[in-house]
Amino acid sequence: MTDTTLADATTAPAKPAAKPARPYFSSGPCAKPPGWNAAKLAADSLGRSHRSKIGKQRLQYCIDLMRELLGIPDTHRIGIVPGSDTGAFEMAMWTMLGARPVTALAWESFGEGWVTDAVKQLKIDPTVIRADYGQLPDLGQVDWSNDVLFTWNGTTSGVRVPNGDWIADDRGGLSFADATSGVFAYDLPWDKIDVATFSWQKVLGGEGAHGVLILGPRAVERLESYTPAWPLPKVFRLVSKGKLAEGVFKGETINTPSMLAVEDAIFSLEWAKSLGERGLIARSDANAAALNEIVEARDWLGHLAVDEASRSTTSVCLTVDADEAVIKKMVSLLEAEGAAYDIGGYRDAPPGLRIWCGATVDTADIAALGPWLDWAYATARAA
């Protein structure tokens, strides 16, 4: 492991000899799977209606692959919806909240976004349980007679819930899990989750703009027995004549999907199937472990999420012993050299670095990043 003395030099050190082969460390859209090439995507559905026989077949095949790979029980519906993970989660909020009191957990920007939606848009007065960036709130405070909103993996803070043990088996309310950077990276307990959302652009390395909405039987019961007090936009409507619009969960999307994005997701899912869910999790874990070795060998780097039990293995957020200007300079230097793209911390988070360690990233590229971080840190400080 590279020694930290380079970072203490007053002049810029020599550039490392080797770069990451694929320097794509963005936290969304994330790196494409190894071996991806646009020419490898199936093209028969392109230029065709999504309502054609082949369009419906490919959408259903995509849903079937997600179900098989994630081990989602037949009791749960899976739908492809507009608006990425945000659209999927807001669809769930707008159609199901209001029947019970609401508790919202917020420890990073997206959790805070759901609080804002509940308070300012839906005019609900939720119980809000907060924690600072890098921390997890006290999950023991949650009242499961309420509907509960939370992020499984806080993409902008690098903090995740450690497991689903804290979710009550006998809950009266529904559990709403924004799981966008957690699905395919952790073994999710589907019996504990009534509503889950994610997008292909995270662990699968797919394209943005499309979301996935997963509904357990209790969520379906809510949809069919409760009508919200507020109007619903067309793209949020999951019920017709008091019954779930089952077609949405069989490839009959509410609005027009990009079949190119669907074919891209299918490519990623078929690659993922060759590894299995455990293989995907193992790749993420190996990447996070390699990055942790880099952090532990440098006294100027640290984890924003101090508690390892709740530290993300996908969107890993790092602190840097430097001011914001130096950190921004580091990010710019690495991008200019083609050594690391898009690793600046999220705009609402404390200044730092954010390095994606999901399954589509190769561990060798994480390891190769260490010397480049040394170079960028020393160079930015000497500037």
Q: Are residues 71 and 200 in the same domain?
A: yes
> What does the buried/exposed string (b/e) look like for 175-191 if buried means 16 or more CB atoms within 10 Å of the residue's CB?
bbbbbbbbbbbbebebe
CATH value at residue 289? 3.90.1150.10
Q: Which of 186, 185, 165 is nearest to 175 (CA)?
A: 165
Buried b (16+ CB within 10 A) or exposed e, 33-56: beebeeeebbeebeeeebeeeebb
- The answer to whether 31 and 22 have CB atoms below 8 angstroms apart is yes
Task: Give the separation between CA 52 and CA 209, rounded to whole angstroms.
Answer: 21
376 and 351 both lie in a single domain? yes
Map tokens 């994480």 to a residue: 366
d(CA 270, CA 35): 12
In angstroms, rounded to a whole number, what is the distance separating the alpha carbons of residues 208 and 83?
Answer: 8
Q: Are residues 50 and 18 in the same domain?
A: no
Domain-terminating residue out of 237, 265, 293: 265
Asked if residue 233 has a cis previous peptide bond (ω within 30° of 0), the answer is no
120 DSSP 8-state letter: I
Q: Which residues contact 74 (CB under 8 A, 6 or more apart)?
A: none
Domain count, the chain: 2
Instruction: Tell me how many degrees the CA angle 71-76-81 measures, rounded to the nearest 5.
Output: 100
List 104's β-bridge partners, or say none.
Answer: 128, 149
pLDDT of residue 5: 44
Q: List CB contacts of 213: < 8 A, sequence separation 6 or more.
A: 78, 79, 81, 88, 91, 92, 195, 196, 197
Q: Which stretches in the chain have pLDDT values below 70?
A: 1-12
Please indicate, yes or no, whether residues 47 and 90 belong to a single structural domain of this protein: yes
Residue 18 lies in domain: 4-34+277-382
**Apex 166 CA angle, 163 and 170, nearest 5:** 125
**In this structure, are 342 and 196 located in the same domain?**
no
User: Is residue 272 one of the residues assigned to a domain?
Assistant: no
Structure-block tokens of residue 257: 């999907």
In this structure, are 261 and 282 located in the same domain?
A: no
Do residues 243 and 320 both lie within one domain? Answer: no
* Distance in angstroms (rounded) separating the CA atoms of residues 233 and 93: 13
Do 282 and 225 reside in the same domain of the chain? no
29 cis-preceded (ω within 30 degrees of 0): yes
Do residues 77 and 64 touch, judged by C-beta distance below 8 A?
Answer: no
pLDDT of residue 6: 43
Average pLDDT, the chain: 96
Choose the final residue of a domain: 215, 244, 265.
265
Specify whether the backbone of 84 is left (phi greater than 0), alpha (psi in -120 to 50) or beta. left
User: For position 171, which CATH number holds?
Assistant: 3.40.640.10
pTM: 0.95
Output the pLDDT for position 383. Answer: 85
- Is the domain of 164 the same as that of 298? no
Q: In a 3-state reduction of DSSP, which class is residue 90?
A: helix
Whether 72 maps to a domain, the answer reads yes
What pLDDT does 13 receive?
76
CA 189/CA 174 separation, integer angstroms = 14
Q: Are residues 252 and 359 in the same domain?
A: no
Q: To which residue do tokens 């007090």 refer?
A: 229
Enclosing H/E stretch for 328? helix 324-336
Position 204 in a domain = yes
**CB contact at 8 A, 260 and 64:** no
| Residue 112 included in any domain | yes
| Domain membership flag for residue 356 | yes
Polymer length in residues for the chain = 383
243 shares a domain with 155: yes
Residues 265, 269, 270, 274, CA torsion sign? positive
Tokens 């472990």 appear where? 289
Neighbours of 231 (CB within 10 A): 7
Task: Please name which of 318, 328, 324, 374 lies closest in space to residue 156, comparing C-alpha atoms.
Answer: 318
Beta bridge partners of 177: 150, 196
SS3 assignment for 334-346: HHHCCCCECCECC
